[in-house]
Amino acid sequence: SVGGGWFTPVINYPEVAILGVGTIAQQPIVNAEGEIVVGRVMKLSLSFDHRIVDGATAQQAMNNIKRLLADPELLMMEG
């Protein structure tokens, strides 16, 4: 890493999509009680070929990745 926290990955043929994963950094966030607290934030960037993948489908994939990263125990569940 060169110290950056955010980037946009470039798709190379024959790739259809690529996920960029940034560094985890402490940033102010609002918790469930509406309080501003220090949280750990990791930025993700998904580049994809719009000729093959619909934008709504790509967003659903990102939402699912976010859900799994927020609650890693879901990765251990069966069925």
Active-site positions? 50
CA distance 5 to 63: 20
Distance of CA 79 to the CA centre of its chain: 24
Residue 36 main-chain phi, psi, to 5 deg: -85, 120
